Chains A and B, each alone.
Chain A
């Protein structure tokens, strides 16, 4: 029976090839546009570390000016001072916690024909690698004592290791960075976080760092600030030390809390810490500490570009137009077949059978539209990549779940488009149509 319906549907579609093309083409365009923008939004809002994103928390303390909040309405700064970042690391009651800072420096690879290059540096504590599941190719993170003393240990990214050591196991060898010798303790495997959630202050989709160094080196090597530095009052006194003891924020802080109880303890600690600082004359604003988990922080920092969201809504409306278009066309086309349908009813076909038969035709259009739509989405994403360049690197590619969404969207669309016309056509009483002809 179904085979017969399929043949009938095929014949019906073939009778009006342009119309069939128009209907499935409209669905394809609608799905293509919707899938392109859904992909971008989906990947921008993806959970970068799903296995533990609800156990990692970003710490904010309010050290800002008594006269005005860091941001309306009463938002604490999005980063910490050096004083607070180091104090939390030393005193706070968590198994795993790490301060972070961006920096930069020149690496001079040894060997003929190798040019020095400016490396993106991440200053951090060794907990960083455990907390964020950094994959090691060789070696491991540095020791606890390196965290304390600011030992010149370095963990290289895979690409930096390729640049400097041609991809060999370089653990134990030395790298020259900012005129100083560093000992390689680990080399990471390919590691790309989209978004690079642990520091989104200068853009959520920035590239990963070339090398990771102990946080303490910020102080001992006076490494330059990178990223955003914000101060509500100027550092007092002279020299680099005065910056580190100032109220300028340039540092991020993450903590891993595995249970509600741990979180509770941590919150109490933060409150006590803030009160203590108030006694020392700091933190002039009311108590305003924040602990935000990964996805909460991504939302707070508005990681999904507004433009991408606006485009997604516009393209969903676009899909709606395409569907209305197809509904209208199907309706008219089916109403043209009323004679045939009435005749079939009269000779004994049930309404259900007719319904199925019409539905097969709709599904044909839907499937063609869906396939066309996915192809168009792939093209659309190429277009987006061309238009935005590096800004959307790795954000413009279809993956398995997205293909699933695409197929689902195509099915829903074609059913939506086909349901009403089919239903209306099959409602025809057999006699009326036969009479008029």
Chain B
């Protein structure tokens, strides 16, 4: 510690060099803190559960084009056939696929009438196989009955009587009631049309992964009479590939005047949905790693030079009795001092950059836990970088002091 004084005075003789390292450390830290913060924020988004059994599910789209295409007939017989397949657990026609970013939303309100407060929700149309195919559990109430399921088309304006809501949606509508109490309550759709809540399911995401109310979903006992129809299929555990093959084969061999579009697994849907997020993570990681390497190499280069320049001084110190450890600790201490200035600037920079990102891009606010972690990381990188050159400095022979240049 007694070295700090002389080290500081020596540094003041080469202010610019030291300042440059400090600045470099500061900017590096600013970038790293914010990049890690972004990476984690995206990780949280991607880590949310969809509520599905993604590993075993896939969907397939059928588009009828023949003039005599009979949608309800094809849908019913398709589903009947698919459900019979040995590798299939269950299947359902559904109007939207969770996480696919395309779907329907509606508003629900607890009081009838226009202008009343309305809670947005995604809407999934399924029959009584919906819960099992989606792999969601009822936590209160009951499932749809087979007799309740009706067909609707794009011009149908009214809604079936009963609906099943996610717990999150139910809580938003009735914050004070328990799930069991919410069953049997009436909510209004399209301002005035009453619906009875017959069941509460645990969790199911809306199709839009970036939606603020992504946990608001509801099931409606409808099938959709349209030439364009999607089937969500849940394979028996571990048999997804066989199920895909069997479903495609079954659908393609039926000659009903339709085309079968590509099958997509829920794993792919998730990947596509979060592609931008995982790409951003990969890019930021690359930046962080390269940045650390550059900063470290920069320190190595600068320290090596300054050691070279001071060979005679080092030799003299050694000749006057300084231990190798003293020389090492001189350069390590010098580095810690410079890095510390950088780290202090880095804290200010990190917070400033984050404030700007929050206000310009609506990104989440920085959690301050990252700051001490980044500080330790910067000190470690600094020491790591300076270790080699310092070790070589310590090897300088005392005899060098006596030599002429």
Q: Which of A114-172 contact B (CB under 8 A)?
A: 115-118
B-to-A contact residues, CB < 8 Å: 14, 16-17, 20-21, 23-24, 27-28, 30-31, 34-35, 38, 63, 65-67, 114-115, 154-155, 157, 190-191, 226, 228, 259, 261, 275-276, 278-280, 282-284, 286-287, 290-291, 294-295, 297-298, 301-302, 305-306, 308-309, 353, 357, 361-363, 405
Interface assignment of A333: CB less than 8 Å from any CB of chain B: yes
Query: Of B16, B24, B154, B283, which contacts A325 at CB under 8 A?
Result: B24
Q: List chain B residues, Cβ under 8 A from A225.
A: 154
Complex: A76 Cα to B292 Cα, angstroms: 48
The distance in angstroms between the C-alpha atoms of A179 and B63, with both chains bound, is: 12
The residue in chain A whose Cβ has the minimal distance to the Cβ of B190 is: A234
In the complex, the answer to whether A336 meets B17 with C-beta atoms within 8 Å is: no
Give the distance in Å from the alpha carbon of A29 to the alpha carbon of B227 in the complex: 53
* Contact between B405 and A437, CB atoms less than 8 A apart: yes
A33-B287, A310-B363 given as contacts; is B259 within 8 A of A325 (CB)? Answer: no
Closest 6 CB pairs of A and B: A106-B65, A387-B279, A328-B20, A325-B298, A332-B305, A324-B24
Find the B residue at minimum CB distance from A240.
B155
Q: CB within 8 A of B305: which of A238, A336, A424?
A: A336
Interface residues in A228-261 (C-beta closer than 8 Å to B):
233-235, 238-240, 242-243
A322 in contact (CB, < 8 A): yes
Number of interface residues of A (CB under 8 A): 59
B21, A321: Cβ atoms under 8 Å? Answer: no
User: What chain B residues lie within 8 Å of A307 (beta carbons)?
Assistant: 276, 280
Contact A118 B283 (CB under 8 A): no
Interface membership of chain A positions 377-388, coded 1 if the CB is closer than 8 angstroms to chain B and 0 otherwise: 000000110011
Once the chains bind, are B27 and A317 in contact (CB under 8 Å)? yes
Would B308 and A29 count as touching, CB distance under 8 A? no
Question: Which B residue's beta carbon lies closest to that of A177?
Answer: B65
Q: Is the CB of B302 within 8 A of A388?
A: no
Contact status of A328 and B155, CB under 8 A, knowing A118-B259, A314-B35, A318-B31: no
User: Is the beta-carbon distance between A331 and B16 smaller than 8 angstroms?
Assistant: yes
Query: Which residue of chain A lies nearest to B18 when distances are taken between CB atoms in the complex?
Result: A328
Pair B361/A306 contact, Cβ less than 8 Å: yes
Which of A234, A310, A317 is within 8 Å of B157, CB to CB? A234
User: How many A-B residue pairs lie within 8 Å, measured between CB atoms?
Assistant: 141
Whether A29 pairs with B259 at a CB distance below 8 angstroms is no
Asked if A367 CB lies within 8 Å of chain B CBs, one says no
Most A Cβ at <10 Å: residue of B16, B35, B66, B301: B301
A contacts, CB < 8 Å to B: 19, 22, 26, 29, 33, 66-67, 104-106, 108, 115-118, 178-179, 224-225, 233-235, 238-240, 242-243, 305-307, 309-311, 314-315, 317-318, 320-322, 324-325, 327-329, 331-333, 335-336, 383-384, 387-389, 391, 420, 424, 437
> CB-CB < 8 A to A22: which residues of B?
297-298, 301
Is A321's CB under 8 angstroms from B31's CB? yes
Contact sample, A vs B, 30 pairs, CB 8 Å cutoff: A104-B228, A115-B259, A116-B259, A117-B259, A224-B228, A225-B154, A234-B157, A243-B155, A305-B276, A310-B363, A311-B280, A311-B284, A314-B287, A318-B287, A318-B291, A321-B28, A324-B23, A325-B24, A325-B294, A325-B298, A329-B305, A331-B17, A332-B17, A336-B309, A384-B283, A387-B278, A387-B283, A420-B16, A424-B16, A437-B405
Query: Smallest CB-CB separation from B298: which chain A residue?
Result: A325
Q: Are A179 and B38 in contact (CB under 8 A)?
A: no
Cβ-defined contact, B301 with A19, below 8 A: yes
Q: Evaluate contact between B24 and A321: CB separation under 8 angstroms.
A: yes
> Given A307-B280, A310-B38, A388-B275: A116 and B65 within 8 A (CB)?
yes
Which chain A residue has the least Cβ–Cβ distance from B22?
Answer: A324
Contact (A321, B27) CB under 8 Å given A328-B302, A329-B302, A333-B305: yes
B residues near A306, Cβ cutoff 8 Å = 361-363
| A residues in contact with B353, CB < 8 Å | 317
Are A179 and B301 in contact, with the CB atoms below 8 A? no
Tell me whether A332 and B302 are in contact in the complex, defined as CB-CB below 8 angstroms, given that A22-B297, A242-B155, A327-B20 are known contacts. Answer: yes
Q: B residues within 8 A CB of A26?
A: 294, 297-298
Nearest residue (CB) in A for B27 is A321
Q: Let me know if B65 and A108 touch, CB within 8 A.
A: yes
| A420 proximity list for chain B (CB < 8 A) | 16
- Known contacts A29-B294, A335-B309; 17 additional CB pairs below 8 A are A26-B298, A106-B63, A178-B65, A238-B157, A240-B155, A242-B155, A306-B361, A307-B280, A310-B357, A317-B353, A318-B31, A321-B24, A325-B295, A328-B20, A328-B21, A329-B302, A332-B305
> Quick check: B298 and A118 within 8 Å, CB to CB?
no
Q: Which of A179, A225, A305, A336 has the most CB of B within 10 A?
A: A179
Using A108-B65, A321-B27, A322-B294 as known contacts, say yes or no to A314 and B259 having CB atoms under 8 A apart: no
A321 touches B154 (CB 8 A): no
Quick check: A391 and B276 within 8 Å, CB to CB?
yes
In the docked arrangement, what's the CA distance between A391 and B362, Å?
22
Contact B291–A321 (Cβ < 8 Å) = yes
A327 to B306, CA, bound (A): 15
Give the interface centre of B16, B67, B295 by most chain A CB atoms within 10 Å: B16
Distance between Cα atoms of A355 and B357 in the complex (Å)? 41
B301 — nearest CB in chain A belongs to which residue? A329
- Residues of chain A within 8 A (CB-CB) of B297 are 22, 26, 325
B114 engages A67 (CB within 8 Å): yes
Asked whether, in the complex, the Cβ of B305 is within 8 Å of the Cβ of A179, the reply is no
Which residues does chain B contribute within 8 Å of A387, judged by CB atoms?
A: 275, 278-279, 282-283
**Residues in chain B near residue A33, CB distance under 8 A:** 287, 290
Closest A residue to B158 by beta carbon equals: A234
Contact of A310 among B154, B298, B361 (CB under 8 A): B361
Closest-by-CB residue of B relative to A116 is: B259
B-chain residues with CB within 8 Å of residue A336 when the two chains form the complex: 305, 308-309
- Which of B34, B295, B302 sits near A314, CB closer than 8 Å? B34
